[in-house]
Amino acid sequence: MRRRYRILLPALIAGAPLLAVAQSTCTSDGQPQPRTVYERFINADCASCWTSAPGHAPGASAVVVDWIVPGSLGDDAPLAAAATRDGLERLQALQRPAPPAATDTFISDVAPPGAIAGRLRVARGPAVNDYAGTGISLVRNAGAAKRGMVATGSYPFTLLLVERIPAGTEGSPVVRHLVRNALHGTWSASDSAGAPRAASARNAWLFMENRPMRIPEGAQPDRLEVVGWMQDGAGRMLAAAQAPCRAGAD
C-alpha cells in the first residue's frame, strides 16, 4: 500500500474544522521585493520527491512556491490530494514537460525596482469557513504619482494561495510553500481608468483585483500565505510580492 502524508490526506484532519476567523489580515507591505521567483514542481506519483531535499537551494532573495502536479496514477498517487491542475497549466505556460518525470525547477529573474510605475502588493484576509479573501494590486509609487506616470500595455498576473509547511513536518526535510489555489488574469491600461490619481492618495493603485479563494480540504488556515507576480506581454517577470502572514517570517 502506498503511503500518504498527513498534509496530503484530508481524512486525517477531518476532525479539526476550519476556524470561523483564523487569522488577521496580512500584506506584503514592508517586505523587500523578491529578486527571483523559484518554482518547484513535483509529480504527484513521486512520494520520495516530497520527502527528499530539492537538488537546488533558493537564495535568500527568492520567493519560493511548490506545485504538486497530477501524474499518471490519478487519485491513487501518494500526493494526489494536494495535486492541482494549475500546476500542469503553469508548466505548459513555461513550455516545460507536463507533468515532469519526477521534479522540475524553474527560476525567473524579477525586474529591478523602478522598472514599472509602481510596486506590486498582495494581501490575504481572515479565513472564514472555507474561503480566504485575497488581493493583488499594482500600487503607484510616490515618484510615479508626482510625475503623472501611467501604466500602458497588458500585464498578465498570478496570485497564489500557498500553505507554508515548516521543515521537518509532514515528511518534508525543507520548508515548502505548497500551492493550494491560484488566480490568473490580465490587466490592461483601461483597467486603471478608475484608479485614484492624487499624488498624496494613500496606497493609490494602478491595477487591483480582489477575490475570495477557496481553501481546499487538508489545508491548515493558520499556515496560509499569498504570493503574486506580474509579467509583461513577453512573459518577463516585472514584479513579485509575498505576504508571509506570520511573525518573524523568513
Total structural domains within the chain? 1
CATH number at residue 105: 2.60.40.10
- Partnered with residue 29 across adjacent β-strands are none
The whole-angstrom separation of Cα 171 and Cα 167 is: 9
| Residue 183 to residue 199: CA distance in whole angstroms | 30
In a domain, 16, yes or no: no
User: Rounded CA gap, 114 and 247, in Å?
Assistant: 28
For residue 12, tell me if it sits in a domain: no
Cell of 99: 507533468
What domain range is 181 assigned to?
A: 21-243
Residue 2 lies in a domain: no
pLDDT per residue as tens, the chain (250 positions)? 344 544 444 322 232 333 333 347 899 999 999 999 999 999 999 999 999 999 888 988 999 999 999 999 999 999 999 999 999 999 999 999 999 999 999 999 999 987 887 899 999 999 898 999 999 999 987 655 444 445 667 899 999 999 999 999 999 999 999 999 999 999 987 766 555 544 445 557 789 999 999 999 999 999 999 999 999 988 899 999 999 987 545 4
- Residue 4, domain member (yes or no): no
Q: 121 with 241: CB under 8 angstroms?
A: yes
Residue 48 domain flag: yes
Task: Give domain status of residue 68, yes or no.
Answer: yes
Q: Residue 114: inside a domain, yes or no?
A: yes
